Structure 1
Amino acid sequence: MIYPKTFESKIGFDEIRTLLKERCLSTLGKEMVDAIQPSGESDVINEWLTQVREFRRLQEEADDFPMHYFFDVRQAVARLRLEGTHLDEGELFDLRRSLDTINQIVNYLNRSDDDNDGEERTYPYPALHRLTEDVMTFPQLVQRIDTILDKFGKIKDSASPQLADIRMELSRTEGSISRTLNGILRAAQSEGLVEKDVTPAIRDGRLVIPVSQGLKRKIRGIVHDESASGKTVFIEPAEVVEANNRIRELEADERREIIRILTEFAKLVRPHVKPILESYKFLATIDLIHAKAELARLIKGIEPAVNAYPHIDWIQAAHPLLRLSLEKQGKSVVPLDIMLTRDKRILIISGPNAGGKSVCLKTAGLTQYMLQCGLSVAIGERSRTGVFKNIFIDIGDEQSIENDLSTYSSHLMNMKQMMRYADDSTLLLIDEFGTGTEPQIGGAIAEAVLAQFCAKQAYGVITTHYQNLKHFAESHDGVVNGAMLYDRQQMRPLFQLSIGNPGSSFAIEIARKIGLPEDVIKAASEIVGSDYIQSDKYLQDIVRDKRYWENKRQTIHQREKNLEQTIARYENEVKELEQSRKDILRKAKEQAEEVLKESNKMIERTIKEIRESQAEKEETKKIREQLEAFKAGVKEIDTAANDEMIARKMRQIQERRARKEKRKREKEKENEKLKTNNQQSANATPSPVAVAPLKQGDTVRIKGLSSVGKIESLDGKMATVIFGDMRTKMRAERLEHAEAPKKEEPRAYVSVGRQTRETMDEHKLNFKQDIDVRGMRGDEALTAVTYFIDDAILVGVKRVRILHGTGTGILRQLIRQYLATRPDVESYRDEHVQFGGAGITVVELA
């Protein structure tokens, strides 16, 4: 129950309706706005709010939602119930576009995230999807309309064979008339009967020639009209009269055929009139939800979860209309923290005039009413809300001359209705409780009425200046005082609500600020008594001290929160460092084992060569012992001893990327310098005398090794030798003649190549094309992405995905800045909205 009938205008909800209507796309949505009524069921309210929340998310995630044609053709469709009626071309065109919009919206909201066999389908916007469950669409009617109308909404020539024939004959006849008329006009111009620049005109749908009044008898025909000045007459030559008559007949035939086509189509629509009208209700609902979402964006509102019981625990609540008004003036609204719970059901607000008491009351009323109408509300994210079955308000001057009611009488009538219907699910909003009559008796009646509200366990926000009501709040359970704060130093209201203590009216201070004579203020103070003045001063001091300590408490609470966040961040960093240390150790051991395997192979080959050279067994045994000692050294790595080295290496990771390019350039310079020095050294060193002369094509081997090759060319003391598939240049003194290679040796090289390919294939099979860097710091994420891209290029993958999440967007920006510097990255983009959208970057590799 909402009381009184003027409730919406008193709290300003009529202005909210106006804002909603301005954001509707059609009369469909505007009618829905007019029909908005509050609900007392939390399930219904939560469903409304979920629809708005999903639509706002849809607007952010998708740019292809069909919101193009919201036409209201319900009256025209309803008219089709009568036999023989039809839609005109414009109505049919609007019907086609709106039906197509309904069809597209239904199909869009019916998209599912998966299509698992036998499993329940899930939808990205479930609440909006539920709106489509009983909505019928008519794609066949849309297709039929497309055979009748063109893209501009005009009847096609191909709508029927008869219409095509009529229009073809009409075109031929008009062409014939035009040629005949032009011939007559040229002849008249040559005879001087008509001006040279005159062209045929149309009067009453017939082609005519403009002729001067004095020469009209020179041309045989029918006069259809004359100019305003009377100097020019419009003559239809006798030669084209019959042809013009034929055009009139053809135009009538064309119109009859068009009506026949539209009437035949109306017969197809007539059985579906009722479901079509129901589908327009769905279109109106979507229009209303769209308007709600736009209003939420305007007032910076949210869609909170609504509990099934009465409850108000609002943080940073703002009056939406006041916020919009102040923003236009470049000001900001002061948000309020309002709480009504089972233990503190009634809030008594006191404080100075123009201090914000009425605004606080209206904020509570409008916010709760908007919430129960399914609209977003301007409160903080951590707020908690409930639902009330009844909302009553008593605010303003309701005196009525017709009903012989004074201001106080009207207040008493409101109190009577409130006491009759108030219960434990009622929200009372009473401004200036008890005013309008003699203060002593008015305060007493107000206190008695307040006792009745407490007995009924009603909830309420009540503003007052009466001291007895402030004392009542202190002595009764379920009632709590609240004060609108006032800056006594600067003599200005702060518009902040403080719950827990009553507020002072600051009457003496305000009177002094306005400029009342000091002797008047002194006399008033003596009349009221020093005890009252002193108690009011103490009350002001209490409010001031409470505000001071409340600010201190909030500061300490914020610092504790920041400290907890810092501790949590450090703990996470310690865990990450420990994990990184373990990973580095594991990788180091793996690399050591790989080195060990390679070393083992090299030593085995060396042993084989020693055996082939008939070396002593003792030397072979010694080499094996050295190998085993190396193995044991790798296995006995002391983790603790290497912690410092690992920590240093982790610190260097951040610096490595910055120094990478610089080291590369320095290395290139050193290689060039070394190459130059080696070349000079090689040229300066005299070549030793060869044991045997070498020539091009000889089979040779390097002294001390068993691998054989063939000399490709000789250049002074240098020889170019081919070993297998490798070409190398070395001094000729290091070579000696050798026998031709055995057949088994190429197989060994092939085996090594096969092992390399198998290793690469295994690495490619184990490579994952997605990497998740959510929760990482920027430098960690960049390091992980660097290795990931390198591995992808190594195994030949052309497309990879980086999951970084949305959040504040900083991690996404850092990763994309890095990708832009990689020459092997061809492009990158957001993933499709159905698979993650802006939270995932898809990378195309060159």
Structure 2
Amino acid sequence: MFQWGMLIPTSESSELPIFNRIEVCIGDDQSLENDLSTYSSFLLDMKQMLSSSDEHSLILIDEFGSGTEPTAGGAIAEAILSEFDRRGCYGVLTTHYTNLKLYASKADTHVINGAMLYDLSKIAPLFKLEIGLPGNSFAFELARKMGLPENIVKDAESRAGEDFVDMEKTLRRIVKGRRVLDEKIKKVKKAEGTLEGLTEQYQQELESIKQQKQQIIDNAKKEAESIVKGANKQVEKTIRDIKESSADKVKTKEARNELQGFIQALETNKINKQKVHDEYINRKLEQLKKRKKSAKTEEKTREEEFRNAPLKLGEKVRVKSNGMVGEVVNVSSKEIKVVIGNIISKMTPDKVERISSNEFKQATKNTNTPVYEKVDPSIRERKLNFSPEIDLRGERLSSAMERVTRFIDDAIMTGVSQVRIIHGKGSGVLHEELQKYLRTMPGVSTVNDEDIRQGGSGVTIVTLE
């Protein structure tokens, strides 16, 4: 629309690029005549896009990578997405593949997740796009809504794996927490607007007081000049009366008393007027002080409520003891998990305080270069060469146990939170004995099979404390 010169619904400050090519892959191009299946037609489209796309191309793909076995299809889709990303292409791609959502979450890519919001109570689309969060398929919820037997849905959840189901639930909690946080941000912005309005009002009143003060001073000067002129006239009259009375003592005394009374009346009038002016100024200043104090108290109360409210997933926090900042990734009744840099730390909620996104960005920007401790060269080399995955296929049980022990020790030393152990399925002996042994090792939190799409019982996922 924009490149055809049509008006588009956007803000006046928006900037849009000019595309030399717009590549589209929507719908099913399978063909019996051309011997093309759904996936073959998709791959043909991808081949054409890869042959011509660059940083001036717009890529539009619906159901990216679907139409074939999920593991292979997801891997090919991720490789193609990585190539589009490397070339700097623009695009919008819809998908249900989890690996593509995880790819978009990486810090070293230019891909951003987006989720179409759903009403969880009705399992109905809201037709709203939320940028920055991975979407949720709601497959199990939709199956229940459509009346699929509960035992079938339960069986499907168990087959998908606990990790997959937990991830779906976590995504829903993150979306819900994001909405709550957005509402709070709106309230804070509204309060800031009110506070700015009050500040402007106080400033205007202060300026008004200054102007009134200057006007009072100018009026006082004019009045003083008038008083001086009147006093001069009174003095001249007194001198004239004394001369005309030929220095009569009684007349002289009366003239002096009259002059003295006039001077006292001027002084009393000046004091009274000054008192009234001072009282007015002080009253106005006192009102301003009370308003400012009230505004500061309200702002402090709001900040305390923001800092001390129960923590939720995705919120930014500051560690009270050292000032380091991070993001909450897990919340339970007794402890929370916070991502600080590349490390996940467990701690009690009272050890941290909530901070705003701006505070988090500022703290991250101003982070000083860390001071590195002296580390043994052999330990440093082990950390650099450590891989979070080990392949034990073909190993005997005894040698596999020995390798796993060293592998877990290295993982704990390097601070890795999760590792993969590939042992294959075979007879199942190595799988069973390894998992029993791993559950007895210190520092191991959970031991589970990999998702069925990533290897199932042929791979063990170990989560470390």
Normalization by structure 1: what TM-score?
Answer: 0.28
The structure with the larger Rg is 1
Normalization by structure 2: what TM-score?
Answer: 0.48
